[in-house]
Amino acid sequence: MIDLHMHSCYSEDGEYTPAELVAQCARKGIRMLSVTDHNCAKANEEAEKAAKAEGIAYIPGIEIDCTYQNTDFHVLGYDIDYRSVDFERIEENIAGQVREASLERLARTRELGFQVEESALRVLSQNSYWPDSWPGELFAEVLLSMPEYTGHPLLEPYRPGGKRSENPYVNFYWDYYAQGKPCYAKIDYPAMEEIIAVIHKNHGMAVLAHPGVNLRRKEFLLDEICGLGMDGLEAFSSYHSSEQAEAFCRKAQEKRMLITCGSDFHGKTKPAIRLGQHHCPLLQRPGSE
């Protein structure tokens, strides 16, 4: 079994340490993995060492936020030189913007009618590698725990039994904090072309992450993106239907690109997603769905 997309505590929304992730992969029978944190390559040294101890093949990775045609995307970088200063610069660029963006999200959340205090957010983020970053998932965790908002109509879909309750924190993020949503706070991400170039400069391969998510209603951009030097498509993802996976496989084959698979496991922010859950029938063991 293979899983090439997962997040550790070096992502603002990841739960486990790199070594803990590797241990969980070992228990699940995953024999090849990559830890692909958001805009940070620091998990790779620990993960690589832990994987070697478990006899698991390890591919250094990262997932970088970027933009193309005014749309936010995620690009996975595989087999990169993770010690390169280029990835430190990418991390520093994002870290320099997250505080202001977090405060903007807080203001917009209050505009929805929720009285959230900074102190409540800080309690949850204080031990994070990104303590000044308050993503939408963090707001969801705080709001869903506040007794005064029990029964609030905006939160009901995310509570047990609600139509958005399968992954409540990240669904709340997608519904309110993603690009184009009411609480979105803009961060100036690098251009996709720049990120592909950085990955290639550091001997890596650039793969478009979960294209079925970021290309929704913008499918016409896919051919252009493939022409930017992208090496592969993450055709098999926990977010993709079998029809979507088949379509992305066909596109990758047509363009002579790599086909990859990844669960996008985070831990508590996406509890319905399990390690190894990417729906690729050739690379999963029966019952891993």
Helix, strand, coil percent values for the chain (each to nearest 5): 40, 15, 45
Neighbouring C-beta atoms of residue 132, cutoff 10 Å: 17
C-alpha angle 273-4-9 in degrees, rounded to nearest 5: 65
- SS3 (DSSP) at 74: strand
User: What is the model's pLDDT at position 282?
Assistant: 62
User: What is the model's pLDDT at position 287?
Assistant: 43
Average pLDDT, the chain: 94
Tens of pLDDT, residues 188-211: 999 999 999 999 999 999 999 999
**Percent of the chain scored above 90 by pLDDT?**
90
d(CA 35, CA 6): 5
Phi, psi of 88, rounded to the nearest 5 degrees: -65, -40
Q: Of 164, 185, 186, give the one whose Cα is nearest residue 175.
A: 164
Neighbouring-strand partners of residue 62:
77
d(CA 100, CA 69): 24
Q: In the block, which residue shows the tokens 């590797």?
A: 22
What confidence tier does 165 reach under pLDDT thresholds 50, 70, 90?
very high
pLDDT at 288 over 50: no
Task: Kindly compute the dihedral angle of the four CA atoms of residues 157, 269, 65, 262, in this order, to the nearest 10 degrees.
Answer: -110
Q: Are 171 and 158 in contact (CB under 8 A)?
A: yes
Tens of pLDDT, residues 76-96: 999 999 999 999 999 999 999
Token reading at 81? 């030189």
User: What is the model's pLDDT at position 48?
Assistant: 98
User: What is the model's pLDDT at position 159?
Assistant: 97
User: What is the model's pLDDT at position 252?
Assistant: 95
Q: Are 73 and 206 in contact (CB under 8 A)?
A: no
92 contacts: CB under 8 Å, gap ≥ 6: none
Q: Taking residues 88-105, report their average pLDDT.
A: 97
Flag the least confident range among 31-40, 186-195, 238-247, 253-262. 238-247
Question: How many residues are there in the chain?
Answer: 289
15 contacts: CB under 8 Å, gap ≥ 6: 9, 266, 267, 268, 269
Task: Kindly compute the dihedral angle of the four CA atoms of residues 166, 214, 186, 67, in this order, to the nearest 10 degrees.
Answer: 150
User: What is the model's pLDDT at position 276?
Assistant: 87
User: What is the model's pLDDT at position 277?
Assistant: 85
User: What is the model's pLDDT at position 278?
Assistant: 87
pLDDT at 217 over 90: no
Q: Taking residues 109-118, report their average pLDDT.
A: 96
